[in-house]
């Protein structure tokens, strides 16, 4: 077992020198306002470049999708430029790093959205509390995305994927787990829709499929992964 962990493995187009992968770890070290990566993050990821593959902390694809204090984003030019020294530091240390793309859906508190309601597959409210810049607060009701807005969110993912490529990442992972937006479409408890995005398992997976299609258009299938929560 010990020897096997240190054997190389190829994950799609990414050749990894060992099988010890670094999981995504939400840290809250980005600069606010702007959700911009910082020099501290360069050091953090460079120090871990000996992993076979680093999966970055969850990174917001849009203002609408990010609801964690001081987490980084990938929607603005400033964020892209600030990620470049991070990926460069990992690559100079002979590491590999992919960006985890994150839309939190109904778990974005209105405090992050200028008071506007968060979006989700359906008009539901998440249980528990949100972390906000001013402390823990109850989640608030989300509104359902229209079909037209779903298409716009898919394009937000596409833009984020293109930004990740410009920032120097080796690929992307779609965060489709842990009760965030993609997961909210997949689950019957949060997807109450009666259109082509709700009802059957195939319909509930339609949003996931469309987002993955957009990511593959940018990166190719061999540099795109997806994180799911079996339940």
| Structure-block tokens of residue 212 | 């993955």
Structure tokens at 151: 């298409």
Do 186 and 226 meet the contact criterion of CB atoms below 8 Å apart?
no
Assess contact for 127 and 108: CB atoms under 8 A. Answer: no
Contact residues for 81 (Cβ-Cβ < 8 A; gap 6+): none
The answer to whether 120 touches 190, Cβ cutoff 8 Å, is yes
How far separated are the first and last CA of the chain, in Å rounded? 29
Helices of type H across 26-146:
39-46, 77-92
Question: Strand, helix or coil at 50?
Answer: coil
Is residue 139 annotated as a catalytic residue, yes or no?
Answer: no
> What stretch of H or E contains 157?
helix 147-166
**Among the options 45, 139, 180, 197, which is catalytic?**
180
Letter string b/e over residues 194-206, b meaning 16 or more CB atoms within 10 A of that residue's CB: eeebbeeeebbbb
Enzyme catalytic residues = 180
């Amino acid at each position: 077992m010990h020897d096997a962990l240190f054997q190389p493995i190829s994950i799609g187009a990414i050749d990894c020198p060992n099988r010890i992968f670094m999981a995504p770890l939400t840290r809250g070290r980005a600069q606010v306002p702007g959700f911009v990566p910082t020099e501290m993050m360069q050091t953090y990821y460079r120090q871990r470049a000996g992993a076979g593959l680093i999966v970055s902390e969850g990174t917001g694809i849009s203002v609408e999708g990010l609801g964690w204090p001081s987490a980084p984003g990938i929607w603005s030019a400033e964020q892209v430029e600030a990620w470049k020294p991070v990926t460069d530091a990992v690559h100079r240390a002979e590491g590999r790093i992919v960006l985890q793309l994150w839309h939190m859906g109904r778990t974005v508190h209105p405090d992050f959205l200028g008071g506007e309601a968060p979006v989700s597959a359906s008009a539901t409210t998440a249980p528990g509390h949100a972390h906000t810049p001013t402390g823990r607060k109850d989640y608030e009701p989300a509104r359902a995305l229209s079909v037209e807005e779903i298409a716009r969110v898919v394009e937000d993912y596409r833009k984020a994927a293109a930004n990740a490529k410009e920032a120097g990442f080796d690929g992307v992972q779609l965060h489709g787990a842990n009760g965030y937006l993609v997961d909210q479409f997949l689950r019957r408890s949060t997807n109450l829709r009666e259109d082509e995005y709700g009802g059957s398992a195939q319909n509930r997976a339609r949003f996931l499929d469309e987002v993955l299609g957009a990511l593959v258009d940018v990166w190719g299938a061999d540099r795109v992964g997806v994180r799911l929560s079996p339940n």
